[in-house]
Chains A and B, each alone.
Chain A
Amino acid sequence: MSYQSYLDGDPVIVTAALTGGVHGKETSPHLPETPAEIGAAAAAAEEAGAAVVHVHARRDNGERSFSTERFQEIDDEIRARTGDIIIQHSTGGTGAPADLRHQPLRTGPPPEMASLDMGPLNRYDHLTSENTRGMVDALHEEMTERGIKPELELFNDGHINEAHGLLDRRDLAEPVYATLIFGGGTLTRPTPPNLLNSVENLPDGALFNTLGFGPHQLPLTTMGILLGGHVRVGLEDNVYYDDGELATNEQLVERTVRIAEELGRPVATPEQARAILGL
């Protein structure tokens, strides 16, 4: 995966991160929280060109849920409202004990993909999401058992080391798929040179997906398209379309699709995405 992929016009996989688990409707009324709202947002994102939906679960009041049952409700809504979109569950969960972190892997059928946070990151001023190597290995083990493709979430360049370490410790199905994450705090500083550097340091043969928080979503995902990568957009990562103008998930996907096609990279259908990712 490289600039040559751009020149060759390889399809780009667009992931829509619909809701997340940090902010909620207090931040944007467009952010879907209930299973029905998430299902409707997934349908709109698929219609706009997303091949993958990244899913977190919430209670009715928007607060986080990690239960298999809640993920099942959401998946049922998504499947009822979409054609063929790939479902990717989050296994992230700051402050959640290990047993809850495994719950999103246990729906029937399992999600085709699930996120795997590759190391610690700070939250607020007195909290760290630990993501120990032991937890990473345990989550990967269950993903392997259930036939779930891991999406390695690399919040900073130290986590790129962790990805190399995971590959030393365990057999990962090829191709390895990694999301490079840019923003404030513990994340990689959101600059173009840092995206270039992160891509350069990925394990050989790894496919990458670019995720930029807030105002960095548009420029860095565009750069990721030029570098031959895949992209993630959505209200989990950025609630604005422009300065002060709140976005919908659908609008963010539509803009990304428009840019990718203008740059000569067609957007992957879910079927094409499955072939690219080896699902």
Chain B
Amino acid sequence: MVCPHLTYREAEKFDTERAYCTITGEFVQPMRADICNDRYDLAHDRHCEIYREQ
């Protein structure tokens, strides 16, 4: 399950939509985006301190 606080947004500095955290109000690092998306062996509810501590 993808993190409920993940959205993809456009910005002038990017050519494509990028992962954006609605808790921090910032675009996220690409490696953290894999956590947001629960990709590979990663899960936002286990590995993301922002989600766990909100």
- A interface residues, Cβ below 8 angstroms from B: 21-27, 29, 58, 60-64, 93-97, 100, 123-127
Is B30 within 8 A of A64, CB to CB?
yes
Is A22 within 8 A of B31, CB to CB?
yes
Indicate whether A60 sits within 8 Å of B16 (C-beta atoms), given known contacts A24-B30, A127-B47: yes
CA–CA, A63 to B14, complex, Å?
A: 13
Is B35 within 8 A of A22, CB to CB?
no
Q: B20-54 toward A: CB 8 Å interface, digit per residue (1/0)?
A: 00000011111111110001111000111100100
Is A23 within 8 A of B49, CB to CB?
no
Is A63 within 8 A of B19, CB to CB?
yes
Can you list 25 A-B contacts with CB-CB less than 8 angstroms, sorted by A residue number?
A21-B30, A21-B31, A22-B30, A24-B30, A25-B13, A25-B14, A26-B27, A26-B28, A26-B29, A60-B16, A61-B8, A61-B14, A61-B17, A61-B19, A95-B41, A95-B47, A96-B40, A97-B41, A100-B40, A123-B31, A124-B35, A124-B47, A126-B52, A127-B35, A127-B47
Is B33 within 8 A of A124, CB to CB?
no
Distance in angstroms from B31 CB to nearest chain A CB is 5
Q: How many A-B residue contacts, CB cutoff 8 Å?
A: 71
Determine the chain B residues whose CB is within 8 A of the CB of A95 once the complex forms.
34-35, 39-42, 47
Is B40 within 8 A of A22, CB to CB?
no
Indicate whether A125 sits within 8 Å of B49 (C-beta atoms), given known contacts A25-B13, A63-B34: yes
Determine the chain A residues whose CB is within 8 A of the CB of B16 once the complex forms.
60-62
CA–CA, A29 to B12, complex, Å?
A: 11
Determine the chain B residues whose CB is within 8 A of the CB of A62 once the complex forms.
14, 16, 18, 30
Distance in angstroms from A93 CB to nearest chain B CB is 8
CA–CA, A124 to B17, complex, Å?
A: 24
| CB-CB nearest in chain A for B18 | A61
Determine the chain B residues whose CB is within 8 A of the CB of A125 once the complex forms.
49
Determine the chain B residues whose CB is within 8 A of the CB of A25 once the complex forms.
13-14, 18
Closest 6 CB pairs of A and B: A125-B49, A95-B42, A26-B27, A61-B16, A127-B47, A24-B30
